Amino acid sequence: MLANFGRIAIFAVQTLSYILRPPFYFREFLHALMQIGYFSLPVVGMTAIFTGGALALQIYAGGSRFNAESVVPSIVAIGMTRELGPVLGGLMVAARVASSIAAEIGTMKVTEQIDALVTLSTNPMKYLVVPRVVAATLAVPVLVGVGDAIGIWGGYLVGVTRLDFNAATYLKNTVDFLEAWDVGSGLVKGAAFGFIVALMGCYHGMHSGRGAQGVGRATKSAVVAASVLILATNYLLTEVFFSA
């Protein structure tokens, strides 16, 4: 386990060092940005809207025990922006993107396309890893921001249509209690989660075993590692941001 952590740490440091060195493959970056960001919007949006609606129902049910139903708008907004938006968005992207990256790079390794890149004097880290890591680090915070908005909207729909909240009052409570750092902390988490997702996909793809079974194991390991690291990193960042 420690050896694996060491290899991942070395791979991360190498990736960060290559980001600062030319050349930068802009076409690969744009392609990765579309695959990771734009095409992940539907799954992140659907996850967020149902999560926001379910959160409103749960908070209302719990708050009604203490005559505190009025806290639903503020808790939905804070819960989505601080925790549920970044974490669920990161996990959905991990399921979709980490597996895709690991399978793609693993297949390239099995079919010796990575060896061909080396033969053509192209650094595989620069060509395959750096564009995907940079694209995920930039795209996931945007997805988190969109997911936060959709999740709060889902809570608003449930609050107004099912829980008989006044629409203007619901929106006022949301705006009054939501602070800029609530949103900002979630976006910082999103950037960290995007880096983790792409890094795990690339790492396990580059270290894939031979054959179809090797690619399958790499894909599975990438999703599991990315998901666990997202949850662990979320706790660490929450401790740093809100421990006071």
Half-sphere exposure (Cβ direction) of 215: Cα atoms closer than 13 Å = 13
Is the pLDDT confidence value at 179 over 70?
Answer: yes
3-state secondary structure of 178: coil
Q: Is residue 79 part of a domain?
A: yes
Q: Is residue 2 part of a domain?
A: no
Contacts of 178 (CB under 8 A, 6+ apart): 74, 77, 78, 81
Q: Is residue 241 part of a domain?
A: no
Number of domains present in the structure of the chain: 1
Angle at the Cα of 50 (from 45 to 51), degrees rounded to 5? 95
Instruction: Give pLDDT, residue 207.
Output: 87
Interval 74-125: pLDDT, tens: 899 999 999 999 999 999 999 999 999 999 998 888 888 888 888 888 888 8
Q: Is residue 200 part of a domain?
A: yes
3-state secondary structure of 20: coil
For the chain, percent of residues with pLDDT exceeding 70: 100
Q: How many angstroms separate the CA atoms of 221 and 223, rounded?
A: 6
Instruction: Give pLDDT, residue 20.
Output: 84
Mean of all residue pLDDT scores within the chain: 90
Q: Is residue 17 part of a domain?
A: no
Instruction: Give pLDDT, residue 244.
Output: 61
Instruction: Give pLDDT, residue 137.
Output: 94
Burial class (CB in 10 A: 0-12, 13-18, 19+), 31: middle
Provide the angle, in degrees to the nearest 10, between the axes of the packed helices 130-161 and 26-36: 30
124: cis peptide before it, omega within 30°?
no
The DSSP secondary structure of 77-110, one letter per residue, reads: HHHIIIIIHHHHHHHHHIIIIIHHHHHHHHHHHH
Q: Is residue 1 part of a domain?
A: no
pLDDT bin (cut points 50, 70, 90) of residue 155 is very high
Q: How many angstroms separate the CA atoms of 17 and 115, rounded?
A: 22
Q: Which of 90, 56, 102, 125 is nearest to 209 (CA)?
A: 102
Q: Is residue 243 part of a domain?
A: no
> Which residues span the domain enclosing 191?
27-234
Q: How many angstroms separate the CA atoms of 155 and 168, rounded?
A: 14
Is the pLDDT confidence value at 67 over 80?
Answer: no
The larger pLDDT score, comparing residue 110 to residue 189, is at: 189
Can you tell me the mean pLDDT for 125-147? Answer: 93
**Token pair in block for residue 201:** 């996909």
Contact 99, 219 (CB under 8 A): yes
Q: Is residue 223 part of a domain?
A: yes
Q: Which of 28, 56, 240 is nearest to 124 (CA)?
A: 28
pLDDT bin (cut points 50, 70, 90) of residue 66 is confident
Instruction: Give pLDDT, residue 229.
Output: 94
